[in-house]
Amino acid sequence: MHLRLVDRWPQTRGEPWLHAVARKLNDMDGYSEAEIVAARGAANYLNTIKTPEVDNPLAQPVSPSNPSGEKEIVTEPGMTIKLAPGEEMQFNNPSRPNTALDPFMRYMLREVAAGTGVSYESLSRDYSQSNYSSSRLALLDDRDLWRMLQQWFLRNFRLPLHREWMQMAVLARAIMPIRVEEYGVDPRKFDAVLFKPRGWSWVDPTKEVEAYKEAIKAGFTTVSDVIAQTGGGQDVEDVITTRTRELALFKQAALVFDTSPEVYVAEEKPAPIAEPKPKKDDKDGDDPPNKDDEESRTAEPQLRLV
């Protein structure tokens, strides 16, 4: 099976997904290696002593302790060096690590991200250069791309592979519950398979759950679609089976949590509005108290299941 994305006709071979940025990645690797070598060289701290010109500036004084004439001094912390008259100590100030390395590498990574079709944040895992809105927009675009690639992979590889595997497994008697005669009559019945790719949840689960609930109520989506997007590879059948088993265990153990249906489904029933009492009439005298009004005022709020 030759998996490839066909961009134009009559393309027969696929292009590597990193073909547009392969050279840039190679340049980034070489540049970072050169910076590391330069930084290691600059880490070797070096000082020099500048001497005044004499009759023969190339000559080095020779002494019994220094027969070669080389003047090297090994410095240590807290050491004091006494210089000869006219000599001057010069300190080496290395320019490494390069302060421009970080913005330059970010610039190169942005070009690599643009060439591969993903966002800079997803490629570099660097969210310090973006705010919440821009990061959210980048993640939404990336997840649309991932979902497209998931469906493309399932449609072009997993489904054809499943058909080939199912046919070989049935003919080889590797799946005993499926008879060869039954498979030969209707192979599509056994080729119907549902793959469950992973989904992604959002960074604000409270708002996400409320948005999903409103979308389901309005008919814009279904519970199955929401579970497929956020269930981490589970489908609605898996969630229902697991939830049913969980509630049965809670009931058997006599445990009640705030996530139990009898708790969060129940809601307080509003008390009935009492009618205003008629005004007293001097001629008729005082009316006896209304029993229904007294009961409505003293009745406790009721709970009902919806």
Q: Which of 188-192, 235-239, 264-268, 281-285 has the lowest mean pLDDT?
A: 281-285
- pLDDT of 297 > 90? The answer is no
- Domain ranges within the chain, ordered by starting residue: 16-49+90-129, 131-195, 205-259
- 3 state DSSP class of 303: strand
User: Is 163 exposed, middle or buried, given 0-12, 13-18 or 19+ CB atoms closer than 10 A?
Assistant: middle
Q: What is the pLDDT of residues 72-116, one digit of tens each?
A: 677 777 777 777 777 787 777 777 888 889 999 999 999 999 998
Contacts of residue 266, defined as CB under 8 A and 6 or more positions apart, other chains included, come to 303, 304, 305
105 vs 33: CA distance, rounded Å: 13
Phi-psi sector, 285: left (phi>0), alpha (psi -120 to 50), beta? left
Confidence (pTM): 0.59
Which residue in this structure is represented by tokens 């070669």?
A: 68
Average pLDDT over the chain, rounded to whole?
Answer: 80
Q: What does the block give as tokens for 72?
A: 């090297």
Report the DSSP beta bridge partners of residue 50: 88
**Which of 53, 63, 58, 92 is CA-nearest to residue 75?**
92
Q: What is the pLDDT of residues 162-213, one digit of tens each?
A: 999 999 999 999 998 899 999 999 999 888 888 888 877 776 778 888 888 9
